[in-house]
Amino acid sequence: MSPAEQFEPEAERVARIVREQIIDGERAPGDKLVERDLATELGVSRVPVRDALKTLIAEGLVTPRPRTWAVVRTFTEADVEDLIEVRSAIETLTFRLAAERRTPERLVELETALDREHRAAREGDATAAHRAGADFHELVAATAASPLLDEIGAITASRLRWLLGQHVDLQEMVDEHRALLAAIGAGDGQEAARLAVGHLRTSRDAARARLAQQGETARD
């Protein structure tokens, strides 16, 4: 457990755990999130669970239901298209600024995240690869060093992590991140922005394929 997690408020801890479970696919679309059950499972009172669910609803990962429960959001193709439209604008600027404002320290951090992702992909650990890939994107945002852009991007940050978690071809994700890192390292903001848009399109296609598969499973 990290020092930050040791002093983490209960509501934030519950939100973090459930968020990771949703993004990692441990809680499927439509799964019920009942305050009483979550409180028992996580060893807390219902108050932090209620607050955590409000956070996850605001992040777009959970859909509210009457009284004391909610469900894991079921994303549609229209949801994915909306997300891609918004994140394309954000990612284009983020990667361009990252290339312009890179530092040796940040480049080392990005390379470390990419190495973790590559190692997990090679071992077939999809959850670890997806998490490292999402960490890579967050480090790029930190490299861009724009507090206002961070504030705007935070609104859809959890949904972006969900989107990146839809990739099945882990090596393809690694390769695209490696190309993005090369553009950032070279200080080529235009190329980094171009690649970022292409990377989001790959994510969109992966999400579409996953949603189609889920639809077929639901009909069986």
Find the angle CA(122)-CA(125)-CA(126) to the nearest 5 degrees: 110
Q: According to the model, what pLDDT value does residue 137 have?
A: 97
**Rg for the chain, CA atoms, rounded:** 18
pLDDT digits (tens, 9 = 90+) for 67-81: 778 999 999 999 999
What is the pLDDT confidence band of residue 180, given thresholds at 50, 70 and 90? very high
The stretch 111-129 carries a mean pLDDT of: 97
Asked whether the predicted pLDDT for residue 86 surpasses 70, the reply is yes
Q: 57 and 69 in contact (C-beta within 8 Å)?
A: no
User: Across the chain, what does the average pLDDT equal?
Assistant: 93
**Side chain identity, residue 155:** I
Determine the pLDDT at residue 179. 98
**Percent of the chain whose pLDDT exceeds 90:** 89
Q: Is the pLDDT of residue 189 over 60?
A: yes
1: pLDDT strictly greater than 90:
no
Q: Average of pLDDT values for 209-213?
A: 87
Per-residue confidence (pLDDT) for residue 219, from 0 to 100: 58
pLDDT above 80: residue 216? no
Q: Count how many Cα atoms sit within 13 Å of the Cα of residue 140 in the half-sphere of its side chain.
A: 31
